[in-house]
């Protein structure tokens, strides 16, 4: 391969036959899709038959790194895990940090493509070029932490490990794959692992990564990028507080959804934000090669029991907390940990519980139907039992395990109270308070993913522009541009926090060029991102998605938040034609022949 930053090959694993192989990585694929999310979009679009059951044997699991992964580029520790989502039916690429991604590169692989179904539980072990499937019957049924501890005992401490929990084993469609407590989730890759009887993956790599420039030039370029982040005043805040420092700020701006998005302001978040969380922190930790060091370990007590866990972050504390009107921090720590142990997405779990609470409030769900669980607003004691029943698909938990939309459809009522897009539950930034976020929720191929165009940076934080956060004016262009640039961050792969840490589009282009030797410009960043988003759109269209799926719950489009004196709404349907024009899609949301020709599709 002519470019640096890549190993030039994907490992292929057929779980059905036990055969291993290699798929060469072409220069053309690297040039057009860069890595990570781009590779997943192109590979799944080309390889998967249309209309397959996401939990059937034809679905594939793709691990994909990017050209920055494992290099000295700051924050480049992440890896993408891609599947056809069992929750939404869309392409779903999830990302996790830690040390798993770099270790795969050091083992000599840009990614792994996993096909077929194993007849029994197995663990995939990658030790440089030595690859094997080991029996995992003794691991099946174990939680994610116990599984990884047993893997370390068997393989040794120099292997990086990842596993699914009971949620994945029981095919919960929002189950995660976890490396330590770094989760690749939301779209349910853990359920695809479970359907294939793949319990865990372990990697050890002893090689290096070839980069294009001479060492002195490369090191100087990486140091400049590191210095930009180190000198940014936001970096110490990320380290000390993680992401929960935004809770009181967004809440005061009437932008933090409360009680299943019935309102956009919580009465009081003082008990759950960063200053309170910091009291529980015992140590800080970083992902591989990261100079932000935003991870931390907390110790807490609840109901007389001592726990040690990763610190909870913004989306998890919101979904399990204010969205359910729960402001008990130790209870949120415990629920967050339980989600990680059983391996399910905290955001979908919390949002689905919030849906059940609103259904209870409205008299549409009784305790007889919920196995006696009390889904009253603010009941912190229901969190862990509900999470366990979801992961086990036990009783009413089997309904909740479908997510809010799936649960509503299963019982035949309440879908209007499911706060989701394309089946993916919404995030902690209120669409009525940040209309660009609302438009991105509505149009992102994966569903309501807040990380596909974090317009709050431009609408509220002043980082990427100065937009009126309440108007729809200018938002189609903003959302399209940010969706395209975000695709590059997800393909390099770098941390999304770099948007807040001074890394601009020009610098993302440099982050691509530095290890590879490519000559990507800022304009190219947008073009590559546009190509990735277009391929994801084509996949969805061929799976039956239409313009009708690019929308928001009517509550957010028609009803103002009670706490908002301006009564603002987020009428995304009114600007969809303009958004489609920005994308060169036709009135039905289908990419035009002109666009496909321009992008070489």
**Same-domain pairing of 198 and 248:** no
CA distance 409 to 417: 11
- Predicted confidence at residue 51, as pLDDT, reads 97
pLDDT the model gives residue 552: 98
Element (DSSP H or E) covering residue 162: strand 160-163
Sorted by sequence, the CB contacts under 8 Å of residue 373 that are 6+ apart come out as 367, 382, 385, 386, 389, 396
Residue 175 confidence (pLDDT): 98
How many domains does the chain contain in total?
3
Same domain, yes or no, for 122 and 142? yes
What global pTM score does this model have? Answer: 0.97
Model pLDDT, residue 246: 87
Give the model's pLDDT for residue 463: 78
What residues pair up with 22 in beta bridges, in sequence order? Answer: 11
- Which distant-in-sequence residues (6+ apart) come within 8 Å of 478 by Cβ? 436, 453, 455, 458, 465, 467
- Domain membership of residue 551 (yes or no) is yes
* Residues 377 and 299 both lie in one domain: yes
Cα–Cα–Cα angle for 206, 208, 212, rounded to 5 degrees: 170
Domain containing residue 548: 430-599
The reply to whether 181 falls in a domain is yes
Residue 123 lies in a domain: yes
Specify the pLDDT at position 525.
95
340 half-sphere exposure, CB direction, 13 A CA radius = 23
Q: Which of 368, 391, 418 is the last residue of a domain?
A: 418
Tell me the CATH number at 457.
Answer: 1.10.599.10
pLDDT of 466 reads: 82
Final residue before a domain boundary, out of 418, 442, 463: 418
Distance CA 517, CA 212 (A): 5
Select from 418, 438, 453 the last residue of a domain: 418
What local confidence, expressed as pLDDT, does residue 237 receive? 82
What are the mean pLDDT values of the chain's consecutive 10-residue runs (601 residues total)?
A: 97 98 98 98 98 98 97 95 98 96 98 98 98 98 98 97 98 98 94 98 97 96 94 85 86 97 96 92 92 92 96 94 98 98 98 98 96 97 98 98 98 98 97 98 96 92 86 96 96 90 91 97 96 98 97 97 98 98 98 98 95
Q: Are residues 405 and 473 in the same domain?
A: no
Shared-domain flag, residues 284 and 390: yes
């Amino acid at each position: 391969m002519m470019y640096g930053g890549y190993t030039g090959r994907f490992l292929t694993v057929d779980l059905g036959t036990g055969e291993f192989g290699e798929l060469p990585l072409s220069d053309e694929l690297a040039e057009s899709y860069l890595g990570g999310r781009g590779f997943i979009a192109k590979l799944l679009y080309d390889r998967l038959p249309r209309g397959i059951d996401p939990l059937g044997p034809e679905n594939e699991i793709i691990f994909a790194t990017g050209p920055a992964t494992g290099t000295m580029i700051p924050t480049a520790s992440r890896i993408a895990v891609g599947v056809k989502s069992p929750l939404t039916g869309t392409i779903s690429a999830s990302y996790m940090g830690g040390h798993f991604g770099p270790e795969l590169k050091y083992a000599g692989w840009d990614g792994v493509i996993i096909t077929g179904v194993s007849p029994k539980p197995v663990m995939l072990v990658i030790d440089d070029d030595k690859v094997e499937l080991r029996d995992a019957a003794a691991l099946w049924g174990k939680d994610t932490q116990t599984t990884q501890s047993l893997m370390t005992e068997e393989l040794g401490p120099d292997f990086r490990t990842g596993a699914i929990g009971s949620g994945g084993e029981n095919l919960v469609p929002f189950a995660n794959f976890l490396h330590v407590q770094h989760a690749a989730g939301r779209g349910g890759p853990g359920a695809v692992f479970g359907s294939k009887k793949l319990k865990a993956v372990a990697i050890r790599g002893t090689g290096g990564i070839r980069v294009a420039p001479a060492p002195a030039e490369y090191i100087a370029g990486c140091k400049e990028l590191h210095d930009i982040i180190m000198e940014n005043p936001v970096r110490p805040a990320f380290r000390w507080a993680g992401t929960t420092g935004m809770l009181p700020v967004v809440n005061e701006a009437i932008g933090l959804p409360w009680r299943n998005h019935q309102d956009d302001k919580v009465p009081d978040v003082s008990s759950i934000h960063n200053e309170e969380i910091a009291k529980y922190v015992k140590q800080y930790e970083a992902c591989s090669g990261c100079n932000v060091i935003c991870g931390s370990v907390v110790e807490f007590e609840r109901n007389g029991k001592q726990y040690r866990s990763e610190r909870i972050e913004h989306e998890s504390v919101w979904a399990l907390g204010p969205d359910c009107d729960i402001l008990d921090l130790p209870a949120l720590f415990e629920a967050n940990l339980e989600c990680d142990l059983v391996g399910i997405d905290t955001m979908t779990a919390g949002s689905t519980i919030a849906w059940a609470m609103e259904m209870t409030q409205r008299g549409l769900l009784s305790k007889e139907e919920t196995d006696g669980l009390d889904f009253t607003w603010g009941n912190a004691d229901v969190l862990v039992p509900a999470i366990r029943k979801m992961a086990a698909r036990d009783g009413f938990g089997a309904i909740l395990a479908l997510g809010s939309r799936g649960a509503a459809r299963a019982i035949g009522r309440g879908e209007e109270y499911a706060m989701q897009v394309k089946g993916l539950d919404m995030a902690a930034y209120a669409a009525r308070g940040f209309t660009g976020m609302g438009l991105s929720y509505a149009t992102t191929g994966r569903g309501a993913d807040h990380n596909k165009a974090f317009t709050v940076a431009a609408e509220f934080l002043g980082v990427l522009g100065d937009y009126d956060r309440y108007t729809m004016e200018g938002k189609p262009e903003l959302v399209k541009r940010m969706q395209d640039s975000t695709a590059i961050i997800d393909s390099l792969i770098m941390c999304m926090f770099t948007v807040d840490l001074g890394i601009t589009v020009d610098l993302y282009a440099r982050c691509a060029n530095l290890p590879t030797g490519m000559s990507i410009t800022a304009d190219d960043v947008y073009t590559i991102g546009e190509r990735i988003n277009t391929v994801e759109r084509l996949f969805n269209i061929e799976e039956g998605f239409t313009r009708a799926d690019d929308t928001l719950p009517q509550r957010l489009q028609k009803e103002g938040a009670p706490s908002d004196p301006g009564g603002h709404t987020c009428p995304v349907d009114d600007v969809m034609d303009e958004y489609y024009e920005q994308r060169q899609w036709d009135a039905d949301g289908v990419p035009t022949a002109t666009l496909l020709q321009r992008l070489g599709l």
